[in-house]
Amino acid sequence: MLKVRNLTRHFGGLTAVRNVNLDVEDTCIFGILGPNGAGKTTLFNLLSGIFPCSAGEIYFNGQQVHGHAAHRIARLGIGRTFQIVRPFSELTVMQNVLAAIGAKLGESLPVLLREYDRSPYTDAARALLELTGLGEHENEIAKNLPLGMLRRLEIARALGLEPQLLLLDESFSGLSHLEVEAQVELVRRLRSQGTGILLIEHNMQVAMNLCERIAVLDHGEKIAEGSPAEIVGNQQVIEAYLGRDYDA
């Protein structure tokens, strides 16, 4: 589904991502791990078109997407969430999802809310809210939701674009144990319904239990890739997370 070749991004004299290669299969749950500052979110920003690539290539379903604007990449089928949740804070939960459903058709936000606040669009939005456990909160103002619900709202809104590949940027961060369990089940359900998942995660237990394949970044470079069992025993990964003097 996703092929990345020699992806690189410079910010002045700093190289945030350097020569990263990835192959993400259809409906796979693929994890991106690494310490703070490893380049994980920059990688997501490149894949979703928020930053242009300094070098390298990105192909999605065989189509070149590097150089495309973020809205065009989203319409091609790559959705994403953000590490810092970014809802339309003054809109309702339902309106947030309606905005995404309408955005797939290229409308401005005022037009979205005027034209799409009716069936069948509300039916589609309601189905996504039920899927993400927000069905009872559709009329609440987004800014009033606790963090766990906001993270689910971000996923529901991203799903409004009908993505084939969903990029989740630390969607488990700040959640309680029960919320993490519910989020894990949601991600598995999305995969079973045909959505590929590429996720950034710091919680090693979540990553090891959820991901089928993992790549690890350190200082912008991919230092390891493999199954969870291969990653957990990789000496370079241990050193990146725990320091080179750590004795496994």
Which DSSP symbol is given to 194? Answer: T
SS3 state at 136: helix
Question: Above 70 in pLDDT, residue 247?
Answer: no
- The pLDDT of residue 183 is 94
Q: Residue 103's pLDDT is what?
A: 75
Cα separation, 80 vs 199, in Å, equals 9
pLDDT at 115 over 50: yes
**With 60 as the cut, is the pLDDT of residue 246 above it?**
no
Q: What burial class does residue 192 get, using C-beta atoms within 10 Å of its C-beta: 0-12 exposed, 13-18 middle, 19+ buried?
A: exposed
Percent of the chain with pLDDT over 70: 93
CB of 54 closer than 8 Å to CB of 46: no
Q: For 136-169, b where at least 16 C-beta lie within 10 A, e where not — what string?
A: ebbeebbeebeebbbbbbbbbbbbbbebbbbbbb
Over residues 21-36, the mean pLDDT reads 93
Give the CA distances from residue 184 to residues 24, 76, 109, 116, 122, in Å, rounded to whole numbers and listed in that order: 19, 26, 31, 31, 26
User: What's the pLDDT at 42?
Assistant: 96
The residues that bridge with 245 in the sheet, in sequence order, are none
Give 50's DSSP letter.
S
Average pLDDT over residues 21-38: 93
Q: What is the mean pLDDT of the chain?
A: 91
Cβ atoms of 40 and 32 closer than 8 Å: yes
In the predicted model, is pLDDT for residue 109 greater than 80? no
| Residue 23, C-beta contacts closer than 8 angstroms, at least 6 positions apart | 2, 3, 4
Strand ranges of the sheet holding 14-24, from the earlier edge strand across to the other edge: 14-24, 2-11, 55-60, 63-64
Q: What is the mean pLDDT of residues 143-159?
A: 96
pLDDT in tens, 38-80: 999 999 999 999 999 999 999 999 999 999 999 899 989 999 9
